[in-house]
Chains A and B, each alone.
Chain A
Amino acid sequence: MSIQVEHLYKQFRVHVRQAGWTGAVRSLFKREIRTVEAVRDISFTIPSGEIVAFLGPNGAGKTTTIKMLAGLLYPSSGSIQVAGYVPFEQKAEFKKIMSLVMGQKSQLIWDIPPMETFLVNKAIYEIEDRAFRQTLDELVELLELEELLTKPTRSLSLGQRMKCELAAALLHRPKVLFLDEPTIGLDVHTQEKVRRFIGQYNREHRTTVLLTSHYMGDVTALCDRVLIINHGKLLYDGELDMLTEKLTPYKLLEVQLSSIPDISWDAYGELVDAKEGKVTLRVPRERIHEVSSRFLQLFDVRDLNIEDPPMEEVITLAFQEDAHVS
């Protein structure tokens, strides 16, 4: 097991401050302290080499959990093991086998080319010249960095910078990689590239990857398994496909007809859309075969398509508090 988390809790004590003058003055004399439970009883394990997505709305506790896994935060209670180490002991050996990339925060030196940051990391991680050269060549090829290496970081685009961030984080060949929103703010094309890189890197090096993202594309492209968290609680741990089945007991049936007959569709399913000869129905999973064959018999069908509901919809459902998915 590469990552093992048991009954993890994290509480923060925060000052509650009222807005405005009176609130500011009052907080000088009397501080109201409230305890916020950021993570409540989370347990999971991730075998080495697996790539798992961590999903949840803003403030769900994803980043707090990742920070605890990387040893940046001390858990209030519970236990964590990452590759056999206890992260918050902050041992140098542990830091050498893991890496953290935060999409919102940069580790590259702003005014000079990324190559200089790479060299600093080479010294810090004590990477041998040969190993460094080899890893760098590989990363340059995979991420297409050739021309970026010598340009000052400040002149790079967000996407180019993100690719360099990934390279900087992977130079010491970590066994465990934490990615906190690696594709945030990137255009669709670059997202796709970064995604493909992460997938390929994971396959080739058997690196354990835990990633958080707001983009479903990242998740569907990279991970079979997802962890869904909301209000600090783990709501779901399992395969992405299973989640879809559990939460959305229907499929989308799209039928292209020569003309739309003026009938009630209730006998087939719930009507979503009907225009320009295309009818979209929400049909319960167990009826999908029956409904589609009836369509083929009764209507002049030009094209028929069965789809799962969009992932965003599934996740929105999962985030709803009463969803009993686990």
Chain B
Amino acid sequence: MKRHWRIFCEFFRTCLVEELEYRSEFLGNFLSSLFGIGMAILTIQVFFYQTDNLGGWKYADVLLLLGIFNTLQGLIDFALRPNMSRLLQHIRMGTFDYVLTKPVDSMFYVSFRHLVFWRLIDVLLGIGLIIYALIQKHYMPTIMDAVMFFISIGSSLVLIYALWMMLMTTSFWVIRIDDLSFVFNSFFETTRFPIGMYRGWLRIVLTYILPAAFITSTPALSLLGKWNGMTTILSVVLAGLFLWISRRFWRYALRSYTSASS
């Protein structure tokens, strides 16, 4: 763990150097992030002109949910998304061979090698929005709320990672699709709104098959003091299960890679 953290820091450092090499347009990125979150808030406000609750959630609750969504999206764009295209490129160009000769877990390497650090702006904006929503609501989370929140947000991070990784692993076979991340986006966008908003089979799918409900709704409810021990435990179990599946899938893909030529 400590070793992986050290390697991660090294990845972060090189990516920073790489980014600075191009004197990245920090201001431009900052403005576009700000614009993105502003538009999202505006959309929610438009909803609330018509009604005062969305799937059982009040305005401030939805803001909080949006804050969590933004934070998670920032983390995805920071660590996961930049690696998708690189893995495709590695496999197509054959430089994936170098990854396999390194004494480091290959799944760890391909998922965190490339980081786009200015995407952390989204994370900061997201956290800001969470705090703002809590102030709006005049609610101070208790210690227990915070504990539940951190457990469930941890689970959602693991869940996102596992789902993302499974999608990324398919690039061993479908190396012609350039932007697999589009598939993930369509799914992840569903977590922008409370799960209660969805009806019928869609809700069942988003709760049990692709557990979108656990990604933003559970942490948001925890922070608002509406947590439920069983749900939190379930989110941990699901996260573990999905991580295990994604790992097995990665191993399986590697085996078929190493038994074929590139």
Contact = CB atoms under 8 A, between A and B. Distances in A.
Contact of A126 (B3, B9, B21, B94): B3
Interface string A162-192: 0000000000000000000000000000000
A128 to B, nearest CB: 13
A268 interface: no
A126 B7 CA distance: 9
B11 A120 contact: yes
A96 B97 contact: no
A12 B103 contact: no
B51 interface: no
A72 B14 contact: no
B10 A119 contact: yes
Interface residues of A, number: 37
Residues of B contacting A: mostly: helix
A95 B93 contact: no
Interface in A74-109: 74, 88, 90, 92-93, 95-96, 98-100, 102, 104-107, 109
Given A74-B255, A124-B7, A67 B104 contact: no
A125 interface: yes
Contacts of A13: 260
Q: How large is the interface on B (under 10, 10 to 19, 20 to 34, 35 or more residues)?
A: 20 to 34
B102 interface: yes
B32 interface: no
Interface in A107-157: 107, 109, 111-112, 116-117, 119-120, 122-126, 152
A107 B98 contact: yes
A107 B21 CA distance: 19
B189 interface: no
Contact of B258 (A72, A105, A116, A117): A72
Contacts of B17: 112, 116
A64 interface: yes
Contact of A105 (B22, B95, B102, B104): B95
Interface of B: 3, 6-7, 9-11, 13-14, 17-18, 21-22, 93-95, 97-98, 100-104, 255, 258-261
Those 9 A-B pairs whose CB atoms lie nearest each other, nearest first: A123-B10, A95-B103, A92-B103, A107-B98, A74-B259, A96-B103, A116-B14, A123-B7, A100-B101
